[in-house]
Amino acid sequence: MLDKSNKLKKRNQEQPIINEKIKYRKVRLINLSGDQLGVYSSSEALRIAIEEGLDLVIINNKSDPPVCRILDYGKYRFMQEKKAKEARKKQHSASLKEVKMRYKIEQHDYKVRINQAYRFIQAGDKVKATITFRGREIQHYGLAIELLKKMAKDLSNIAEIQQAPSKDGKHIIMILSPKKA
């Protein structure tokens, strides 16, 4: 129940103060075309906005006096949501993809793993290369390290080592990330 009330408070804080909800004595008024009209009382500014058939919206309440703009609030809100959606669309969060293999990998299988890692890095993701040991294979720790170093060398044109090969129980792990442009 408390979680819902916190969400509502947060949502109400994000929405700008409009029309009759403006409680300041004086406001700096900007018209639809972006020209400053001057400092008015909030009731006078609201009257001017209503005469134009638009809304009075606080743009900056931190300044003295607060800055209000006359605009179509529905259209303004739509454009803000559209900008936020575009920003989210262009944003890419790098996820961690994993490529698993054994230290006794055949050449063809190794090439398949390299191609997988290459595709992941091209897409902007980080790659976690994992070599798994079974039973007494852990004795061949050095061969696994060599294999991971070879993989890093093969992908060196597009990737850089973010975390050097390290032992983690029955696994050896190395993390590669895309090179910065």
Do 66 and 29 reside in the same domain of the chain?
Answer: yes
Do 81 and 124 reside in the same domain of the chain?
Answer: no
Do 103 and 129 reside in the same domain of the chain?
Answer: yes
pLDDT at 8 over 60: no
Do 70 and 23 reside in the same domain of the chain?
Answer: yes
Choose one of 88, 111, 134: the last residue of a domain. 88
In this predicted model, what pLDDT tens digit does every residue of 34-75 receive, in sequence order?
888 888 888 888 888 888 888 888 888 888 888 888 888 888
- Note the pLDDT of residue 95: 87
Across the chain, what does the average pLDDT equal? 86
pLDDT at 16 over 80: no
Do 130 and 66 reside in the same domain of the chain?
Answer: no
Do 51 and 122 reside in the same domain of the chain?
Answer: no
Strand pairing category for 126-132 and 171-178: antiparallel
- Over range 12-30, report the average pLDDT: 77
CA dist., res. 163 & res. 165, Å (int): 7
Choose one of 71, 88, 105: the last residue of a domain. 88
| Buried-state track 55-72, b at ≥16 Cβ within 10 A, e below 16 | bbbbeeeeeebbbbbbbe
Choose one of 64, 88, 112: the last residue of a domain. 88
In this structure, the chain runs to a length of 181
- Note the pLDDT of residue 25: 86
Do 118 and 170 reside in the same domain of the chain?
Answer: yes
Do 70 and 126 reside in the same domain of the chain?
Answer: no
- Note the pLDDT of residue 63: 85
- CATH code of the domain covering residue 108: 3.30.110.10
Determine contact, residues 38/27, Cβ cutoff 8 Å.
no
CA dist., res. 75 & res. 77, Å (int): 5
The boundaries of the domain holding residue 106 are: 96-178
Percentage with pLDDT > 70 across the chain: 90
- Note the pLDDT of residue 130: 95
CA dist., res. 93 & res. 50, Å (int): 44
Do 119 and 166 reside in the same domain of the chain?
Answer: yes
- CATH code of the domain covering residue 43: 3.10.20.80
In this predicted model, what pLDDT tens digit does every residue of 71-128 receive, in sequence order?
888 888 898 899 888 888 877 677 899 999 999 999 999 999 999 999 999 988 999 9
Distance of CA 51 to the CA centre of its chain: 42
Do 83 and 146 reside in the same domain of the chain?
Answer: no
Q: At what angle do helices 107-122 and 141-154 cross, to 10 degrees?
A: 50
- Note the pLDDT of residue 177: 92
In this predicted model, what pLDDT tens digit does every residue of 122-153 receive, in sequence order?
988 999 999 999 988 888 888 999 999 999 99
Do 127 and 167 reside in the same domain of the chain?
Answer: yes
Do 80 and 116 reside in the same domain of the chain?
Answer: no
Hey, CA dihedral for 10, 13, 14, 19, is it positive or negative? positive
- Note the pLDDT of residue 154: 93
pLDDT at 5 over 70: no
If one counts the domains in the chain, the total is 2
